[in-house]
Amino acid sequence: MGAPLIGERSTPIIAELAADPSVLLPFILIGFAAQLVDGALGMAYGTISSTLLVGMGVPPAVASAGVHTAETFTTGISAVSHVAHRNVDWKLFARIVVPGVIGGVLGAYVLSNIHAEAARPFVLAYLMALGLYIFWRGWTHTHVLKRPRIVAPIGLVGGFLDAAGGGGWGPIVTSNLMVQGSAPRTTIGTVNTAEFFLTLTISATFLLTLGWEAFSVAIIGLLIGGVAAAPLGAIVAKRVEADKLLVLVGAVLIVTSGWGLWRLLA
């Protein structure tokens, strides 16, 4: 028996789990791995989870809505962990959270009503270029710390693309802030903390436009795995050296963006 997809409502969720609890396992593992990467590097939970679900045939709007529903809980725990480990720059947080929420609402509305895939190849190519640049700066130890100047527009675009594309807040916001010289540890912690408010808003918007269609066995699995991994990412971000974080962030951007481009062009 295959794992039920998001949006399949032929049987109640409890009955599905009672019949075969093992259907949760692959989604738990995916949620754990995706959140561990996201919490440590400030990106990839939505990208990894949404890519898998869409690849299984889930409609993009439903996949994005379901992933954001699970991510509301995982980012909440991740935010608390980053705050506890003092990984948050509160001045930067104040500048980015409101534009991010506004962009998220707009993106959720657009995805729920029209197709917004035309710009996806250009966004992926842009992220791959950023990934190569960040990787190079970390590898060559040339990252000069300074406070980023362009913040609100990045938050707006990141929030929009996160909702419209099922993932994008971390890659867009974390990478662009780092390119401007923001410290890797506090950038990751701040972006993760702001993401809780973003996902909460996006989930509420999807709920109003799509109803409870996105809540399924798959999302329960992602939620369990993500919640288990959420406290660990902040510890990794705090203990790993800045240059190594840059190399890891660049590598994740290159791999995820390259994979997305290959799927679109193949």
Quick one: pLDDT band at residue 98, thresholds 50, 70, 90?
very high
33-38, long-range: CB < 8 A, 24+ apart: 33/225, 33/229, 34/222, 34/225, 34/226, 35/74, 35/78, 35/225, 35/226, 35/227, 35/229, 35/230, 35/233, 36/229, 36/232, 36/233, 36/236, 37/233, 37/252, 38/74, 38/78, 38/170, 38/192, 38/233
- Per-residue model confidence as pLDDT tens digits over 217-230: 777 888 888 888 88
- Per-residue model confidence as pLDDT tens digits over 1-37: 444 444 444 455 556 555 666 778 878 888 888 888 8
Tell me which residue range forms the domain holding 239.
14-265
Q: Per the domain annotation, does 1 fall within a domain?
A: no
Q: How many CB atoms lie within 10 A of CB 59?
A: 17
Q: Per the domain annotation, does 154 fall within a domain?
A: yes
pTM as predicted: 0.77
Q: How many CB atoms lie within 10 A of CB 231?
A: 17
Q: Per the domain annotation, does 2 fall within a domain?
A: no
Q: Per the domain annotation, does 215 fall within a domain?
A: yes
Q: Per the domain annotation, does 44 fall within a domain?
A: yes
Q: Per the domain annotation, does 4 fall within a domain?
A: no
Count of domains in the chain? Answer: 1
Lowest mean pLDDT, pick from 52-56, 210-214, 248-252? 210-214
Q: Per the domain annotation, does 5 fall within a domain?
A: no
